[in-house]
Structure 1
Amino acid sequence: MEIVPFDPWTLVMIAALNPAIIIVAFMLGRRADQWQKLIVAAFAASLAGYILYWLVAAVGLMPVHALGGEAAVFLMGFLLGLVWAGLGYFLARRRG
């Protein structure tokens, strides 16, 4: 799969399909005892997702040629991380 420079759909898919964002956000959201901590969980998940994205590109598993939207990848990861953290938070509150 070749990644074209600054394709908004590609940026959304990179953030949406990043397993680090999903796992970190959901787990931190489950452990949060206040809803305000979901913002911190989303930030941490976005950072973990971006590090995973960088490692995959550095190893050469995914060809990246001047994507041009690194900030957008982080922002999309944050927004999706907020959704996953919220889901984990509300499922944990509902169960307990």
Structure 2
Amino acid sequence: MTTVIEDRPRPADCTTMAEVRQGVDALDRQLVALLLERQGYMDAAARIKQDRETVRDNARVEDVVAKVKAEARRVGLSEEIAEPVWRTLIEQCIRYEFGVWDKLRA
């Protein structure tokens, strides 16, 4: 899968709220495409995992969050944004994976 980089103003170059909104909207479209790809990995995990109890792996959750926080620090993203966003994302992905796991074995 190839992610298309849309032409959008850089945040530092924005001088109007219209430019800010244009940039945010373009970025949101890219985030949706990336989340679709992440969802595909949840589909694969549901297919691969043989035991329903392995869908939730708390150690893996904490590992992912730790890696995200480290990357956030490295690139300058506020951990106050990164951590709760990823925890919510992970919980929703786990919920989704449970649903897929159940459907595959119904």
Q: When the two structures are superposed, what TM-score results if normalisation uses the length of structure 2?
A: 0.46
- Taking the aligned partners of 1:38 and 1:29, their CA distance within structure 2 comes to 7
CA RMSD of aligned residues (A): 3.5
Corresponding residue number in structure 1 for 2:17: none
**How many residues were matched structurally?**
68
Corresponding residue number in structure 1 for 2:48: 31
**Aligned with 2:88 (options 59, 76, 85):** 76
Q: Say whether the 8 Å CA contact 1:30–1:85 is kept in structure 2.
A: no
Which structure has the larger Rg over C-alpha atoms?
A: 2
The alpha carbon displacement at 1:90 in A equals: 0.6
- Select the structure with the greater relative contact order (CA < 8 A; seq sep ≥ 6): 1
Which string of whole-angstrom CA distances, capped at 9 and with x for unpartnered residues, describes residues 23-76 of structure 1? 111210122211111013xx57xx4xx87xx7xxx8xxxxx9758410012101
Give percent identity, aligned residues only. Answer: 6
- Taking the aligned partners of 1:89 and 1:66, their CA distance within structure 2 comes to 34
Specify the code of the residue in structure 2 equivalent to 1:29: A
Corresponding residue number in structure 1 for 2:16: none
Q: Say whether the 8 Å CA contact 1:27–1:88 is kept in structure 2.
A: no
Give ranges in structure 1 of 5+ residues lacking alignment.
Answer: 4-9, 59-63
Q: When the two structures are superposed, what TM-score results if normalisation uses the length of structure 1?
A: 0.50
